Amino acid sequence: MMRVWSHRPQIEHLGLFVAAYVLGCGFAQALAIVPGITVSIWPPAGVFIATLALTSRYSWPWWILAGCLAEMFAQLVWYHSPVPAGLLIYAGNVLCAVVGAMLIRWTNGRAVRLDTMPEVLAFVALGAGVAPLASATVGSATLAWFDVRSQTFTDVWPLFWIGDATGILLVAPLALVVIQHWRSGTQFSAAQWTEAGILGLIFLGVAALSLSNDYLPTPYIIMPPLLWLAVRFEFRGAAVALTLLALITMALTISGDSQFVGDAESQRERQVMLQLFLAISAFSSLLVAAISRQHQLAVLTLRRSMEALRDREQELSQLVDLIPSHVWRLTADGEPVFFNKRMVDFLGLNPGDMDKPGVGRVEALTQTAHPDDSPAFGNALRHCLATGERFSMRYRLRRADGAYHWMSSRAEPLRDQDGHIVQWYGICHDIDDQVQAEEALRRSERQLQEMIDAVPVRIWSATPVGGPVYFNKRYQDHFRSVIPNFEAIQEPRIEHLLQELVHPEDAPGVERALLACFETGGGSAMRFRWRERDGDFRWAECRVEPRRDHDGRILQWYGVSLDIDGEVRAQEQLRVAQQSLARASQAASLAELSASIAHEVNQPLAAIVANSDACRRWLSAEPPNLERAKITAERITRDANSAADVINRIRALFKRSTEKRSEAALESVVIEARNLMAEEASRRNVRLDVDIDGELPLLTLDRVQIQQVLVNLMRNGMEAMETVFNDKVLSVRARRIADVIETEITDRGLGFTIFERMFEPFQTTKAQGMGMGLAISRSIVESHGGRLWARKNEPQGATFIFTLPVEGKAAS
């Protein structure tokens, strides 16, 4: 209901509909001249169908209600039928209009326009043929049932059907034209108005003469001017002419001066002839108007197509001239017939300029190529012309100034439906710069290859997933000397090379490191033993890094292998010498320490023993000599303090503090310690990762002692990762937490086993260690007012942490 209310028509439109309906009823009443029969041509059916066909279905109840009011008014004024009979007759008219509008809209699939032959035929067959069957049946049955003027169903039905059909054919086109075609606002020119006026006068004169009783023998003489109007003005002309024809017919019939008015016996037959005449006139004019409309549309479409074709041809010509290449066309026999502007400018001639006595255009075209390329160019072109194969070739073409440019030329044949070649179309790209660049690139590649082969390292590359791509000459020579039947291996896999070349103890670690690189995308540096041609193994260092695009995707892997056997052996000898020196130094220090302890502590201890014996004797005397025992006990205390002073001096010796404490930046101390350990880290294949928070405050410290703590802890971490093959990372991090600066040294080693006593002197897990490093480090940190502790990492490794105070004085 809401949609019906929202689609209610405007009041003025409903008023026009009611007025047209009532006028149509009056027209029908004027032509109802058959004695005893009240039906005739029924124009309201055409008004009703046209209205419903052009409006929304949700507005139909409003039009049906307005039509009912108009019908009841007409029944009251002209027909004087009983009210129930009038309502039943109107119900038949509504059924006719609804069925006709729905059928027309369903067949058209769009708004009703009557522009094409299928639309006209659908309108005539369904709207004027099928739809009136409903109104004729209901109306005839109603007249017979209510015995209106004693009309029978059999007598009334044919006239009822043909009357409704004629009314639809006469009025519906006029309504559609008025509502649709004039809505477009199309204006006639002066010539068209003049032609329409002349045709209208001719039509009125012929209609008046042909429809009257006294002049012309048949009314169909009106058909030529009627069809002329339909041809010249299409549906508008046909609709207006049919309206005039209906009005003239009504006027002559009312006046009695019409060929369709006779005596009572022949009036029924004359009424049928009148309706057939109007129906045939309407059908013919609508059909001719549709044919004319389609013809005009076809002519307009053809004209627009021709104009569009000319525009496209002009655009194509401009595009061909703008293409930065040479475009040419040959006949099926190979004669040049078209060069675009760029090719004409390049060659300095048109195809017509190639005509020379005794020389064909194909030969003339061949002569424009470089003398070294001309024979091959001509042979290839003639071969393609003979076989129909595609032409593709690089050659040098002579420019108008005599210079030669490299060209890449292609041509393909255009064939007809039977497969015969009609023409050849070709294009030439100036690739002179490209050829020069390719030659320069080849020279650069040769130079790069020679340089790579001359470099005393082994270089290789791999795909993003690790498949080998390239090995330089030094690598390949090594493969040939070590791997049997290397030439027969078409694609060496990484595992095969590792098995053949790397020491069995190192191969698993190298393979794991490479696979980790390919999986994670991170670079790596590894050291391993490499089998030489004599079967011996030499130390090599391999570095692997990826090359990425702008989006970070890996394009290729690059690697280099360096022979570091001499360096490793020298470092090993140096390490052995350092260890020997360290052991000798430890032994000497221990001997010196022992001698110092024995020398310094012996006398106080001996005095303590002697005074203890004396004190015991004084206390054992009878009676005890307490005064002498007291003096002896005081001597024992003195000698014990003397021994403590000796121990304190030895402790100071362990600290080896020679610098006075001063303000310093912890960052610089850490960096110095890292630089001191850099060589040892490289030798052990350990990566140092230092992270220090910015703007740390200055600390009051003994620079050498704190550096000694860092070096000791960093060396311990490196030694803990000795058995780890990959991911050897030692992290040093410094940050401020409240009033202290906390420093962490983290390794990825195997952890520790003597956690509870690790900071005690002489506690060590190293075969050559003295167990004094952590004890001395803790003493140094605590002397600065901080503390040192350790924790285990998961799943592996350990972290040593020490703090230094930011404010206040450290303990002396």
Q: Is the pLDDT of residue 313 over 90?
A: no
DSSP symbol at 356: B
User: What pLDDT is stored for residue 740 in this prediction?
Assistant: 93
Q: Structure tokens of 573? A: 């000898």
Would you say residue 16 has pLDDT above 60? yes
Sign of the alpha-carbon dihedral angle for 561, 566, 569, 571: negative
Q: Across all residues in the chain, what is the average pLDDT?
A: 79
Higher pLDDT pick, 426 / 761:
426
pLDDT tens per residue across span 280-303: 877 787 778 777 777 777 788 888
Q: What is the mean pLDDT of residues 461-482?
A: 73
Specify the pLDDT at position 486: 57
- Give the 3-state secondary structure of residue 136: helix
**Within a 10 A sphere around the Cβ of 730, how many other Cβ atoms?**
27
Using the predicted structure, report yes or no on whether residue 212 has a pLDDT greater than 90: no
Provide the token pair at 508: 């698993």
| End-to-end Cα distance, the chain | 100
Contact by Cβ (8 Å): 166, 41: yes
| Count of Cβ atoms closer than 10 Å to residue 228 Cβ | 18
Tell me the per-residue pLDDT of 680-721, one tens digit each, with 9 for 90 and over: 888 888 999 999 998 889 998 888 788 878 888 998 898 888
CA–CA separation, 393 and 205 (whole Å): 80
For 66-85, write each residue's pLDDT tens digit: 989 988 888 888 777 788 88
Predicted confidence (pLDDT) at residue 803 exceeds the cutoff of 90: yes
Rounded Cα–Cα distance for residues 54 and 41 (Å): 23
Q: Pairing mode, if any, of strands 729-737 and 687-692?
A: parallel
| Spacing of C-alpha 415 from chain mean position | 39
pTM of the model: 0.42
Of the segments 139-153, 454-468, 583-597, which one has the largest average pLDDT value? 139-153
Residues 329/343, Cβ–Cβ less than 8 Å: no
Tokens of 59: 């507005």
- CA 36 to CA 148: how far, in whole Å? 9
Q: Is 300 exposed, middle or buried (0-12, 13-18, 19+ CB in 10 A)?
A: exposed
Nearest to 63 by CA among 28, 36, 101: 101
Residue 768 has which token pair?
């050559």
Q: Is residue 811 scored above 50 in pLDDT? A: no
pLDDT at 691: 92
pLDDT digits 0-9 by tens, 217-245: 677 777 787 777 777 777 777 777 777 77
In the predicted structure, residue 189 carries a pLDDT above the cut 60? yes
Rg of the chain on CA atoms, in Å: 58
Higher pLDDT, 316 or 268: 316
> Quick one: what percent of the chain has pLDDT higher than 90?
9
What does the pLDDT look like over 617-659, one tens digit per residue?
888 888 888 888 888 888 788 767 766 765 665 565 555 444 4
- pLDDT band (50, 70, 90) for residue 56: confident
* Structural contact between residues 166 and 278, judged by C-beta atoms closer than 8 angstroms: yes
Q: Is 540 in a helix, a strand, or coil?
A: strand
Task: Tell me what the mean pLDDT of segment 431-439 comes to.
Answer: 87
Strands 537-548 and 662-664, how do they pair? unpaired
| Contact indicator for 49, 100 with CB cutoff of 8 Å | yes
* pLDDT interval class at 484 (50, 70, 90): low
Tell me the pLDDT band of 8, cut-offs 50, 70 and 90.
confident
The predicted pLDDT at position 657 comes to: 47
Q: How far apart are CA 75 and CA 91, in angstroms?
A: 14
Cβ-based neighbours of 597, under 8 Å, separated by 6 or more:
646, 650
What pLDDT sits at residue 2? 67
Q: Tens digits of per-residue pLDDT, 717-754? A: 988 888 887 788 999 999 999 899 999 999 988 877 66
Q: Which range is least confidently modeled, 6-20, 399-413, 454-468?
A: 454-468
In this predicted structure, the answer to whether residue 51 has a pLDDT above a threshold of 90 is: no
Distances (CA, A) of 393 to 77, 366, 437, 474: 95, 13, 19, 39
Query: What pLDDT is stored for residue 812 in this prediction?
Result: 40
